[in-house]
Amino acid sequence: MKADRIKLHDFRNICNLELTLCETANIIYGDNGQGKTNLIEAVWLFTGAKSFRGARDSQLVRFEQPQAKLELEFTSEERAQTASITIESRRSAQVNEIPLKSPAELAGKFCAVVFSPVHLALVKNGPQEKRRFIDTAVCQMKPRYIHILGQYNRVLDQRNRLLKDIAYQPVLLDTLDVWDARLASFAAVLIKTRASFLKRLLPYAQEIYAGISREKETLDFFYQSSLSCDLSADIPDMEQQVLGCLRDTRQEDIRARVTCNGPHRDDIEITLSGSSARLFASQGQQRSCVLSLKLAECELIRETIGEYPVVLLDDVMSELDESRRDYLLNHLRGRQVLITCCDEKDFRNLGQGLGVRLENGAVTSCNRY
């Protein structure tokens, strides 16, 4: 899979940009604040996911402009394809000139993996970022997962509303069984899918981290369910386990007026040589953890769909020592990569590629080397 050509109009600080990409290393360089991350973000949106920077759609349109337009020519499944995104207050999308019901339907059409300094939250912050990492990755490999996740969130919202109403109308308590059953059916699929994803991801991530750290530390992680579930159980058995847990904690939920446990509260425990990466890892180690997870995600996507995703790396070299940098550069060969940096020389030894200088959201030079 590769991105061949991208056109942007009124996206962030980019007025008009058209760029033909090479199939190996694309080094996007320039001073800070020139639009390098904006270009990476634009490519990422074609995965169907939201901005990895947490921006609302309306914030993606250039100041005082009515809309932004993004177009991508890409190669997937050994054929040339096109996609376009229009952003006003919301996004709309097309693939091969066919309108989609939702931009989320882009998932699985164009696949990419992105690393940005904001992703250090995967290690530094709480469980929400870790759940988002799993869900975003799985959605690219199994687009139907988007529907399951949406259904779970809708049922969860309805159950939470009911829990609030029960305090004033106790007669509604009898209807809770119906919502518990529906919630359990979707929760079981989410928990099983997430746990299976991490189990498949682990050996790839451990191998990559061992290479980055020169085997000085050992990376490990596992899924932490807030419900007492056997993660090795099949989905029907897990559904019954989830249902039992919901009934056991029903009084707690009624008192709290919210569903206290479930996939929306689950976590990933990440350790380095047995110690919590969040509490004890250095900045460089935390960055190496996230890079290992992201590069392992690349391998898992390739294993699932048969081709590597496009790799998007934003400011990746900060706080990595020389040996970790060398391993990363060697590991990136053989796939299409878009990398942002201030100095392109850091990446010249990736081999043949394209150097693109950005200034004020415009390409000022574009050279193959």
**pLDDT tens for each residue of 150-203:** 999 999 999 999 999 998 898 899 899 999 999 999 999 999 999 999 999 999
- Share above pLDDT 70 across residues of the chain, in percent, rounded to a whole number: 98
Residue 312 has pLDDT above 80, yes or no: yes
Residue 145 has pLDDT above 70, yes or no: yes
pLDDT value at position 321?
Answer: 73
Q: Picking from 121-135, 205-219, 271-285, 348-362, which range would have the lowest pLDDT averaged per residue?
A: 348-362
The tens digit of pLDDT for each residue in 231-243 reads: 999 999 999 999 9
Residue 141 has pLDDT above 70, yes or no: yes
pLDDT value at position 348?
Answer: 64
Q: Which residue has 């929400």 as its token pair?
A: 128
Q: CB burial class (10 A; 0-12, 13-18, 19+) of residue 18?
A: exposed
Q: CB burial class (10 A; 0-12, 13-18, 19+) of residue 339?
A: buried
323/317 Cα distance (integer angstroms): 11
The overall average pLDDT reported for the chain is 92
Q: Tell me the β-bridge partners of 275.
A: 272
133/314 Cα distance (integer angstroms): 17
Domains of the chain in start order, with CATH, are 1-111+309-369 (3.40.50.300), 117-300 (1.20.1050.90)
Token pair of 79, please?
A: 């054929």
Of 319 and 163, which is predicted with more confidence? 163
pLDDT value at position 346?
Answer: 67
Residues in the chain, overall count? 369
pTM over 0.85: yes
Single-letter amino acid, residue 78:
E
pLDDT value at position 294?
Answer: 93
Residue 144 has pLDDT above 70, yes or no: yes
Between vectors from CA 333 to CA 332 and to CA 337, what angle results, nearest 5°?
Answer: 60
Residue 331 has pLDDT above 80, yes or no: no
The residue-averaged pLDDT of 244-256 equals 95
- Of 182, 177, 197, which is closest to residue 266 (Cα–Cα)? 197
The residue-averaged pLDDT of 300-315 equals 93
pLDDT value at position 38?
Answer: 96
The tens digit of pLDDT for each residue in 101-118 reads: 999 999 999 999 999 988
Token pair of 232, please?
A: 């090795």
The tens digit of pLDDT for each residue in 45-89 reads: 999 999 999 899 999 999 999 999 999 999 998 899 999 999 998
